[in-house]
């Protein structure tokens, strides 16, 4: 399936599914978000400093941890910014 192939390319080696933890404005947790559209399907990715990452496309939403694949938040943040993410606390 094309979308799954693109999802794996964009999100890299993320594998561990964890519980959802929201990134609210009052949190001290920095979060970065980017969206990508392919064949009229929008992929949205939000990663937060605490290790949580949410990937959504169509009606599907997955929550994963980026900590197994990246050594630090600065490394993950840099990858997200390379994809055009905006980051905020």
Identify the domain containing residue 74 by its residue range.
2-88
pTM over 0.85: no
pLDDT in tens, the chain (89 residues): 555 444 445 554 333 233 344 444 565 899 999 998 988 889 999 999 999 999 999 889 999 999 989 989 999 999 999 989 999 98
Phi, psi of 64, deg, nearest 5 = -140, 175
Distances (CA, A) of 55 to 72, 75, 87: 19, 18, 16
**pLDDT, position 16:** 27
Q: How many domains are contained in the chain?
A: 1
């Amino acid at each position: 399936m094309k979308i799954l192939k693109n999802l794996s390319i964009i999100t890299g080696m993320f594998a561990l599914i964890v519980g959802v933890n929201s990134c609210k404005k009052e949190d001290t947790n920095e979060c970065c978000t980017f969206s990508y559209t392919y064949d009229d399907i929008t992929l949205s990715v939000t990663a937060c400093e605490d290790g949580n990452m949410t990937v959504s496309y169509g009606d599907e939403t997955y929550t994963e941890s980026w900590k197994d694949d990246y050594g630090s938040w600065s490394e993950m943040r840099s990858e997200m910014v390379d994809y055009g993410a905006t980051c905020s606390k």
